[in-house]
Chains A and B, each alone.
Chain A
Amino acid sequence: MMKGLRTFLYELKYAFLQMKRHIMLCFSAISAIGITLLLIGSILIIGLHVNYFSNDVQKDLSIHVILNEDIDDETAISSIQSEISKLKNVSKVEVSSKDDELELMIKEKGDAFKAYRGETNPLSNAFFVYVKNASSIRKTSVQIQKIDGVSSTAFGGDSVTSLVDMLNMIQKIGLGIVALLTLLSLYLIYNAIRTTIDSRSDEIIIMRTVGATNGFISNPFIVEGIFIGLIGSIIPYLLVHFGYEKLYESLDGKLFTPMFALFKPSTISFQVGLSIILAGALIGGFASLFAVRKYLKMKR
């Protein structure tokens, strides 16, 4: 335990010393990883909302399927129901009988329709079809329309799906950029670590001769990489924390309509912030691990 602590302190000391020696290299690596992490953060924020919106939308969005008037017996209804259920994008089919439909109409349009209760009900039986993916609701609706016995279909929220589509697109482009930037920051950190390894090659040879383990030799470099990543994550974290708070306030907590409520700043600060810091440490750690593996060559 004591020995572990002592070794850890040794590693911290050398990580700092090394970074001081190569301040410019570290600075470029830190900036690269900072920009990368900021983008990762933004994309995470968009992604969280896209997920949230589309789940919300999907929960509420259903296709109202009205059957032909003449379909009135249970076997016919359930055979159409099972046919709809077979469609790929359909998650749930709820039967809404003539009478249910009338009650809905009364609720929506007023008590005047109460007169139609009983034998005089002019409405048809219907389904509420829920979909898995809101953005292809139109396609599903057309498919249902083609089924025999279906009179008409209707769904709302076309604008909703196009917004979700757009956000999805932004997210995909962003992911591509993030992948590239992650590679760039991996490379820059790798380079910074390689330079420190080069500058300490004499020391490494001596360490080997006096019996230092490979872990003992390489850990300070890995600690250094993690440090670069952590330092790089400070500014993006602050930007996300305060930037999102500002955005939330100026949009009044919603995107265009109350239907799209934004996440609370505290949630974003915690979830996205934590991811940024973690991503920074991981990128830094892995970059230096690669460098150490390659340049220290785990020889005897």
Chain B
Amino acid sequence: MIDLKDVSKAYPNGVHALNHVNLHIDKGEFVYVIGATGSGKSTLIKVLNGEEVPDEGAVIVDGINVGALKHRKVPYYRRNVGCVFQDYRLLPKLTVFENIAFALEVVGMPRKQIRKRVMEVLELVDLKEKARSYPDELSGGQQQRVTIGRAIANKPKVLIADEPTGNLDPEKSLEIISLLEKINQKLDTTIMMVTHDKVLVDRFKKRTIMLDKGYVIHDSNKGGYKSL
């Protein structure tokens, strides 16, 4: 599903964010990406969602060479890649329902279908009773679930979660990770989760990729920090 072939990316200020990264992630896999600040995690996400173009190498997602996409094709590609962020990025003036519907409005889905799909998604993320609430009436964990709902509304093949538990207490973090696991298993969505959370990585063991200074220094199927 995701293939990085000798990918390098440097920024104009001289920082080498990614150095000769080679990765292969299968369809339906759930992987963690860990590493210190400045290790290249954010750039990895950006080359995957098409925001940045690698200087060298190729990023192939679902058979599409992301770096070679024309600018006007990028939005269509992006509909296949859901994104979840640490800071939720919900629209405060829209209800939970409207926030999720927004992602579908943007791609021009008919109103009736939007209604149906949003209800399905709310069911999945277990927020049906909060459909009419506004984001500031929700807890952090609930807000993050809305974000996840928005990210999967378009049925993407890949879901990228950038520190989804970064602002949450351990209990709420468990909620999020089990939701992501559910999506991974039920919908067969390939998930890449960037995280700092040692507890989670050790408890829910999955393939773990560790970045440092733009290099992949560990890629272990055993999972957990201890294996590294």
Contact = CB atoms under 8 A, between A and B. Distances in A.
B170 to A, nearest CB: 27
A203 B89 CA distance: 9
B102 A214 contact: no
Nearest to B78: A211
B75 A2 contact: no
Nearest to A7: B108
Interface stretch (B47-55, B126-134, B200-208): B47-55
A221 B69 CA distance: 26
Contact of A213 (B53, B72, B154): B72
Contacts of A210: 78-79, 102-103, 106-107, 150-151, 153-154
A300 B106 contact: no
Interface in A198-217: 202-203, 205-214, 216
Given A211-B78, A300-B53, A2 B106 contact: no
B83 interface: yes
A209 B49 contact: yes
Given A206-B102, A300-B71, A211 B91 contact: no
B105 interface: yes
A207 B71 contact: no
Nearest to B100: A210
A295 interface: no
Contacts of A208: 75, 78
Contact of B108 (A6, A206, A207): A6
Interface residues of B, number: 29
Listed residue (B77, B78, B153) with the most chain A CB atoms within 10 angstroms of its CB: B78
A289 B108 CA distance: 22
Nearest to A212: B106
Interface residues of A, number: 21
A2 B51 contact: no
A155 interface: no
Interface in A144-162: none
Interface in B61-119: 69, 71-72, 74-79, 83, 89, 91, 102-103, 105-108, 110-111
A202 B89 contact: yes
A214 B89 contact: no
A3 interface: yes
B89 A211 contact: no
Contacts of B89: 202, 205-206, 209
A82 B128 CA distance: 94
Contacts of A7: 108
A144 B17 CA distance: 83
Given A212-B107, A299-B71, 9 more contacts: A6-B108, A6-B110, A202-B89, A211-B103, A211-B107, A214-B71, A214-B72, A214-B75, A300-B51
Interface of B: 49-53, 69, 71-72, 74-79, 83, 89, 91, 102-103, 105-108, 110-111, 150-151, 153-154
Interface of A: 2-3, 6-7, 10, 202-203, 205-214, 216, 298-300
8 contacts: A6-B108, A210-B103, A210-B150, A211-B77, A211-B103, A213-B72, A299-B51, A300-B71
